[in-house]
Amino acid sequence: MISGQYRSLLLAFILLPAGATAAESALDWLVKMNAAVQNENYTGNFVYRHGDQLDAMRIVHRASNGTHRERLISLNGEAREVIRNNRDVICYLPTKKSVLVEHRKSSEKSFPAILPHKLDRISSWYRMGLGQGDRVANRATQMVYIMPKDVYRYGYQLWADKKSGLLLRANLINENGQVVEQFMFTDIKIGEKIRNIDLKPAYSGKKWEWYREKAIQPDSKHNVRWKAARLPMGFSLLRRIMRNKPMDNLLVEHLVYSDGLAAVSVFIEPQGRKGKHKIKGTTGMGAVHAFGTVVKGHQITVVGEVPAATVALIGKSITYQ
């Protein structure tokens, strides 16, 4: 549950006047945060809380001439390591002796960039402003808040490094004013040289089982068959792609709807094998909610870091033309 301190802080943000000057300043900081993720090298440790789970991770990130490469290493729980570049996300699972390779969408943002991809749009659906900064990982920060104007999206509290603009801490706030997801750097070094060896995984993956996702662009006829007939105000179709799930060898259609900040994924696949677990109705864990239903012999699964009402609204409106 959210503490009384956080409740008071959140109420103070909601009551702040959303004047033009404050909004412009907040927008400037969001631009600065986006630029930092694109241009800065950094290494550090952070904690990530989602639901009842607390993960400790180490990240190494290098940006060079428009390309990005990063390495994520788990520091607690089951061992795992993730390598990300401009094209792929490669996940090493040593306890299972397996490697999962997924195609990376060009519009995906690198961690910790939980920031808008269309900054000019979000003021229609969110109120933005500046809050009191704090010290994070022993660095001075500027706090930016982004609060929704309806019940279909979450709010954000973001702490950016004053010097570089890099996002160092974030809280995700649900419709009840509770912090449902958090991440925070505990130490970080920004702007240092990143060597190739620093980005090399600890595991070779030799003689392991490799599962490779295949991304297939849908043909023009397929493009119009599935769609969401109802969307929260501001949401629109961002991306549509066909995917071959690497561990199931199953073709899945993937639709992504976004308001410029929040994103919801819709997965459409033929009804699977008997006994295979499928989501029915609405379920959730922490900040993530999912809705499942069956339409014309296809399993529809809607997933996103959004309130339950959002996935239910979209999921119940999926139609086949």
Q: Whole-angstrom Cα distance, residue 296 to residue 306?
A: 26
pLDDT of residue 120: 66
pLDDT of residue 302: 97
Residues of the chain falling short of pLDDT 50: 1-21, 106-107, 220, 275
Q: Whole-angstrom Cα distance, residue 311 to residue 292?
A: 9
pLDDT of residue 212: 83
Q: Summarize pLDDT for 132-189 with one digit per residue, the tens.
A: 889 999 999 999 999 999 999 999 999 999 999 999 999 999 988 999 999 999 999 9
Whole-prediction pTM:
0.82
Query: 234 in helix, strand or coil?
Result: coil
In the numeric block, which tokens belong to residue 251? Answer: 């073709």
Query: 123 in helix, strand or coil?
Result: helix
Q: Summarize pLDDT for 73-102 with one digit per residue, the tens.
A: 999 989 999 999 887 899 999 999 999 998
